[in-house]
Amino acid sequence: MKDTLQPGITFEWQTTVPERAVVPALFGEHTAFAQQMPAVLATGYMVGLMELACTQAIIPHMDWPVEQSLGTHVSFSHLAATPPGMTLTIRGELVEVEGRRVRFRVEAWDGLDKISEGEHERTIVIAEKFHVRLAEKKQRAGL
């Protein structure tokens, strides 16, 4: 990690909600469930976008791609429904750096409503070491 990875880093990132991000599309293999749900941004997809925004914010402050970050904790509310086609604005701040662990405060807006707020933690890892451990686990699992 670079010395610049410090609390106080702020970011703003925008993305448009794609059709594949809505509840029926995300859970399409569960047909009965998916057909009954509204075509709005799925919470799981929203969480992924918020993680991505945090990841992008710290890449310039790491030895990328040797160092990478992995999500280890999320605590986000989902406050309002967002249909596909709307543009999300995700804003956040790095509020804590403790060793390899980083913690963010994050909010998301869809242009009309605040749709989420909460906290997210990531851990900085050495990619090569992580992939070795992952390969070992896959081997133990017979994959």
| Catalytic residue annotation | 43, 51, 78
| Cα–Cα dist 69/90, whole Å | 19
SS3 state at 95: strand
Q: Name the residue among 97, 6, 102, 105 with its Cα closest to residue 50.
A: 105
Query: Could you identify the residue written with the tokens 């029926």?
Result: 24
